[in-house]
Amino acid sequence: MKKELAKTYNPKDIEEKLYQKWLDNKYFRATVDWSRKPFTIVIPPPNITGQLHMGHALDNTLQDILIRFKRMQGYNALWQPGTDHASIATEVKIIEQLKKEGIEKEDLGREGFLERAWKWKEEYGGRIISQLKKLGSSCDWDRERFTMDEGCNKAVNKVFVDLYKKGYIYKGSKIINWCPVCHTSISDAEVEHEEKEGHFWHIKYPVVGEEGYVEIATTRPETMLGDTAVAVNPEDDRYKHLIGKKVLLPIVNREIPVIADSYVDMEFGTGVVKITPAHDPNDFEVGRRHNLPEINIMNDDATINENGGKFAGMDRYEARKAIVEELKELGLLVKVEKHIHNVGTHDRCKTTIEPLIKPQWFVKMDELIKPAVEAVKSGEIEIIPDRFNKIYFNWTDNIRDWCISRQLWWGHRIPAYYCDSCGEIIVAEEEPSRCHVCGNTNLRQDEDTLDTWFSSALWPFSTLGWPEKTEDLEYFYPTDVLVTGYDIIFFWVIRMVFSGYAHTGKKPFNKVLIHGLVRDSLGRKMSKSLGNGIDPLEVIDKYGADALRFTLITGNAPGNDMRFYWERVEASRNFANKVWNASRFIMMNLEKAELTKTIDENLLTPADRWILSKANKLVKEVTDNLETFEIGIAAQKIYDFIWEEFCDWYIEMVKPRLYNDQDETKTAALWTLQHVLTVSLKLLHPYMPFVTEEIFCTLQEMTGLKEKDSIMISSWPEYNPDWEFEKDAESIELIKEAVKGIRNVRSQMNVPPSRKAKVIVVSDNERVKEIFTESKAFFAALGMASEVLVQDDKSGIGEDAVSTVIRGGTIYIPFEDLVDIDKEIERLEKEKERLEQELKRVNGMLSNPNFISKAPESKVAEERAKLEKYTDMMKQVMDRLESLKK
């Protein structure tokens, strides 16, 4: 018994089964094959703490579409998977788990904590991978990597040592983002800037040695404890006389200089700025230019340290209140203004970050960034869409040295070792046994770990075996395209680019495809705080992975945000049902057919050639769209073709031939149905892999036209220039125009589909008459015609016939064929009686003075509107009755 499709499409019945089939047959596997051209994508590694969200779903669907498309084109397609260790996020999760057990991180010690961390990774780290599989992601899972696996660790250590030896990595004290809760430095990428309501405190700083003061405005009064200068713009005439003088720092009573620096904006605030080099990145730069002292007044937990005098031990906000109160008592607080400003918070714990001077490890960026700039400028690396070039260059033009050390235990430990005997710092890939300067064997490794982005910056080549010269690296690298959201273009994409050039001498990828965010139906960013996040797994469970994938791609344009609507998911599910049901119908008619792979074109009818031409054109357009990353446009074209042209038109056109065993063109119709369905499934496969796989394999088994065991390894359709049947396309488009006109007429007259009517085509154009004569059978079916006549003029057509104009002619339908006149008169007489009653009622109300004077205005207006409506309806009924009675 031949396999057949189930009566109804249920994704749960097929998705898991088909994915396992693909895994079992190693269809996702890519191995070096120099006879084939490679196509490589590396997955942006999701965090091991991660739960699949809509951003992941969109990003991975886009990648899967590209990789499936290229695989079908014959490329040796590798989608390299893996996960990121996510230092802070993972450490936070483990600490939370420990606290539930009543254990502090420090109780375990570093080794004990890492043991728990690896155990946690083994238990939860693969969760998001299993979720990506539910989405249908066709990664080569045999190659799965982890940013802290042995190979990646080796790559990280080599890069650190190489950059250190070349002078690009150094240790120094600079301003960094400090999280007082997580007790670590964090990157700019992990700082979320939120607009918050705060205040400007205006404070008097007395001028030393003379009457008067300068007025400064600050949003953080507590930091004044660490002020080492006030600055004015050298061009500001208001303050030129003060440059070089000193002011007395209130409360602290420390004399600090007035300096001139063009950093000060004369138009902002008072034009005088307090300079706190240890607590503000801009002040830090000013301080270095003027050799100012750097006074840190905070502990790691954001309490005031001993440099804060009597405020020592206070929380930063507690100290702020106390300082403001004392300024009031001293008469030095001028005023307090409300002020909306951006406040940096740690994206993990939502704590307000504190800029602090700390000894940290940095990567010197001024030279390393140059190849990354040139690569995009020259077009060697293409960013799609190119409007993101501006953002890319804005970041590279304002590059700062990269703080790469983190005060965490989970992560790549910095390969730097300290000799306590002579103070030497030894940077080495392997732990040294002794100090090379003094010979001491008592060495200790740096406690810090590396920023997560340090290892993920190496991802495109470390996953392929670098630093070893592997065959994989030689064959699959540089990769072809990176797919990522615009929210991480700066800190990940650019770091991969400069790292690729620095360590392999090559770009890491040819193109970068930037996509937007998936927002909720109101356009808001999905977040836990808003509670508007939608779980992709919930969508998959309810509607299937194909419906979710198609929803995320339909209407999607590179770089643009999209809104998520449940109605669109339902529409995508309905589309899958449409494809399924159309396929079942075709297969039912193919059951006893004996088809061949090719067909004699002379056997094809104009309708066959029209749909083949349409499908052929679609192949060309979709291929071009996918090559240029217009993935959403291609999806819409496939949808429109399958739903409208193929299902709603062609299948309906051929039904009379399918139901007539004597029709000599039946075989051609069946061959065309099978061929166009196969082409449609292949074009749709990258978007909806599961439903297309099930139908394709069933269709092959039914017809015996075996190509491959899976659609995903079948060949991508190719455009055939010989199949541009323009003459036939013109014919069918004219038929469609006529059918649409007939349907509009019938709809306007409320004619039920079951009522057939004579259709008369009138034209003096021989080609038009030929088209309708050849196509009478399916034109009659589509046009709900009892009979089709084709003639030169209007002879024999009554004056009451309704008509619709087409190119080169007119379609007429006798009025009596559309309407049962006696029944219509009877219906209209009843409608007339009803309207008379309504008009009598409403006129009675509006002629009643009590109603007009006492009823609410809105009620009176409502009745007047009804009078106008019923009067208009009565006129239409009377006109129609008069016409029919004639």
- The closest of 591, 546, 587 to 570, measured between CA atoms, is 546
Nearest to 509 by CA among 46, 43, 144, 159: 43
Contact 605, 653 (CB under 8 A): no
List the 191-206 sheet strands across, edge first.
213-218, 191-206, 333-346
Distance (Å, whole) CA 128 – CA 605: 52
> How is residue 459 written in tokens?
């991802």
Residue 375 to residues 492, 497, 757: CA-CA distances in angstroms? 16, 9, 68
Map tokens 């730069």 to a residue. 285
**Contacts (Cβ under 8 Å, ≥6 apart) of 586:** 651, 673, 674, 677, 699
Determine the straight-line distance between the first and last CA of the chain, rounded to whole angstroms: 64
Task: Identify the sign of the CA torsion 27, 33, 35, 41.
Answer: positive
Provide the CA 169 distance to its chain's centre, in angstroms. Answer: 35
Query: How, if at all, do strands 76-80 and 38-42 pair?
Result: parallel
Binding-site residue numbers for ATP are 528
Q: What are phi and psi of 464, to 5 degrees?
A: -100, 15
CA distances from 699 to 20, 24, 674, 696 (A): 20, 22, 8, 5
Tokens 């999806």 sit on residue: 635
Annotated binding site: 528
For residue 753, CA distances in Å to 428, 772, 784 come to 83, 21, 7
Three-class DSSP category at 307: helix
- CB–CB of 199/217 below 8 Å? no
- Nearest CA among 205, 190, 322 for reference residue 253: 205
17 to 21, 57, 68, 839, 879: CA distances (angstroms)? 6, 21, 19, 66, 64
Phi, psi angles (nearest 5°) of residue 714: -80, 170
Helix spans in 379-523 (H): 388-397, 452-456, 459-462, 471-476, 494-504
DSSP labels, 798-830: -TT-EEEEETTEEEEE-HHHH--HHHHHHHHHH
**Which residue type sits at 133?**
K
Of 431, 409, 429, 406, which is closest to residue 418 (Cα–Cα)?
431
At 663 the three-state DSSP class reads coil
- Decide the pairing of beta strands 518-519 and 76-80: unpaired
Phi-psi region of 558 (alpha: psi -120 to 50; beta: other; left: phi over 0): beta
Compute the distance between CA of residue 217 and CA of residue 80 in angstroms, rounded to an integer. 53
Contact status, residue 108 vs residue 116, Cβ threshold 8 Å: yes
Contact by Cβ (8 Å): 38, 475:
yes
Number of C-beta neighbours around residue 363 at 10 A: 23
Residues with Cβ within 8 Å of residue 884, at least 6 apart in sequence = 821, 824, 825, 828
Q: What is the DSSP pairing of strand 802-806 with strand 809-813?
A: antiparallel
